[in-house]
Structure 1
Amino acid sequence: MAKQPIVLVALVLLLVHVRARDDNGLGASFIFGDSLVDAGNNNYLQTLSKANIPPNGIDFRASGGNPTGRFTNGRTIGDIVGEELGQPNYAVPFLSPNSTGKAILSGVNYASGGGGILNATGRIFVNRLSLDIQVDYFNITRKQLDSLLGPSQAKDYLMKKSIFSITIGSNDFLNNYLLPVLSIGARASQTPDAFIDDMINHLRNQLTRLYQLDARKFVLGNVGPIGCIPYQKTINQLSSDQCVDLANQLARQYNSRLQDLLTELNENLPGATFVHANVYDLVMELITNYDNYGFTTATTACCGNGGQFAGIVPCGPVSSLCSDRSTHVFWDPYHPSEAANLILAKQLVDGDTRYISPMNLRQLRDL
Structure 2
Amino acid sequence: MNTIISTPSSSQPHLLLKNVLIIFVTLEMCNRTTSAENTQERDHSRAIFVFGDSLVDVGNNNYVPLTIGKSNYFPYGMDFPGVISPTGRFTNGRTVVDIIGEELGLKHFIPPYLAPTTVGDVVLRGVNYASGGAGILNDTGAFLGGRINMDAQIDNFANTRNYIISNANVWGSMTSANSSSKTLLERALFVVVMGSNDFIGNYFSPVPFVPTQKSMSLEMFLESLISRFRLQLTRLYKMGARKIAVANVGPVGCTPLERALNPSYTTSDSCISFIDNAVILFNKKLKSLLMDLNSNLAGSKFLCADVYSILSHLISNYQSYGFENYSSPCCKILPRALRGLLPCSPTSIVCSNRSKYVFWDMAHPTEATNVIIAKRLLNGDSKAIYPMNIRQLYYA
The whole-number CA distance in structure 1 between the counterparts of 2:37 and 2:323 is: 39
Correspondence for 2:161 among 121, 126, 142: 142
Unmatched tracts of structure 1, length 5 or more: none
- Higher mean C-alpha displacement, 178-187 vs 234-243: 178-187
Report the Cα offset of residue 90 of structure 1.
Answer: 1.6
The whole-number CA distance in structure 1 between the counterparts of 2:77 and 2:38 is: 31
Q: In the TM superposition, what whole-angstrom CA distance separates every residue of 1:240-291 from its partner, at most 9, and x where no partner exists?
A: 3111011101110100000010011000100010001000000001111111
| Contact kept? 1:88, 1:106, Cα under 8 Å | no
Q: Report the CA distance shift for 1:274/1:181 in structure 2 as closer, same or farther (over 3 A).
A: same
Report the residue type matching 2:344 in the other structure. C
Residue 158 (str. 1) matches residue 178 (str. 2): no
Correspondence for 2:44 among 24, 35, 46: 24
Tell me the C-alpha RMSD between the 2 structures. Answer: 2.3
SS of the equivalent of 1:165 reads strand
Q: Report the CA distance shift for 1:225/1:183 in structure 2 as closer, same or farther (over 3 A).
A: farther
Report the Cα offset of residue 52 of structure 1.
Answer: 0.3
Residue 34 (str. 1) matches residue 46 (str. 2): no
Report the Cα offset of residue 85 of structure 1.
Answer: 1.1
Could you say which residue in structure 1 is the equivalent of 2:70? Answer: 50
The whole-number CA distance in structure 2 between the counterparts of 1:304 and 1:344 is: 23
Q: In the TM superposition, what whole-angstrom CA distance separates every residue of 1:93-141 from its partner, at most 9, and x where no partner exists?
A: 1111111111111111110000000000001101111101000110000
SS of the equivalent of 2:207 reads helix
Could you say which residue in structure 1 is the equivalent of 2:4? Answer: none
Report the Cα offset of residue 10 of structure 1.
Answer: 11
Residue 313 (str. 1) matches residue 338 (str. 2): no
| Larger-Rg structure | 2
Could you say which residue in structure 2 is the equivalent of 1:101? Answer: 120
| Contact kept? 1:234, 1:307, Cα under 8 Å | no
Q: TM-score, normalised by structure 1?
A: 0.93
Matches within 5 A, 1:1-367: 20=40, 22-25=42-45, 27-45=46-64, 46-64=66-84, 66-149=85-168, 150-160=177-187, 162-182=188-208, 185-237=211-263, 238-305=266-333, 310-367=339-396
Report the Cα offset of residue 18 of structure 1.
Answer: 6.8
Q: Report the CA distance shift for 1:182/1:215 in structure 2 as closer, same or farther (over 3 A).
A: farther
Report the residue type matching 1:78 in the other structure. V
Report the residue type matching 1:180 in the other structure. P
Q: In the TM superposition, what whole-angstrom CA distance separates every residue of 1:20-71 from its partner, at most 9, and x where no partner exists?
A: 454233x11110000000000100112000100100000001434x211000
- Higher mean C-alpha displacement, 150-159 vs 173-182: 173-182
The whole-number CA distance in structure 2 between the counterparts of 1:101 and 1:182 is: 45
Percent of paired sites with the same residue: 43
| Contact kept? 2:202, 2:210, Cα under 8 Å | no
| Contact kept? 1:28, 1:106, Cα under 8 Å | yes
The whole-number CA distance in structure 1 between the counterparts of 2:71 and 2:232 is: 27
Could you say which residue in structure 1 is the equivalent of 2:171? Answer: none
Q: In the TM superposition, what whole-angstrom CA distance separates every residue of 1:295-324 from its partner, at most 9, and x where no partner exists?
A: 111111011325579312211211121011
- Higher mean C-alpha displacement, 333-342 vs 182-191: 182-191
Report the residue type matching 2:372 in the other structure. I
Report the Cα offset of residue 180 of structure 1.
Answer: 3.2
Q: TM-score, normalised by structure 2?
A: 0.86
Report the residue type matching 1:68 in the other structure. T
The whole-number CA distance in structure 2 between the counterparts of 1:204 and 1:77 is: 24
| Contact kept? 1:53, 1:67, Cα under 8 Å | yes
Q: In the TM superposition, what whole-angstrom CA distance separates every residue of 1:133-181 from its partner, at most 9, and x where no partner exists?
A: 0001100000011022222111101102x11110010100101101133
Report the Cα offset of residue 185 of structure 1.
Answer: 3.4
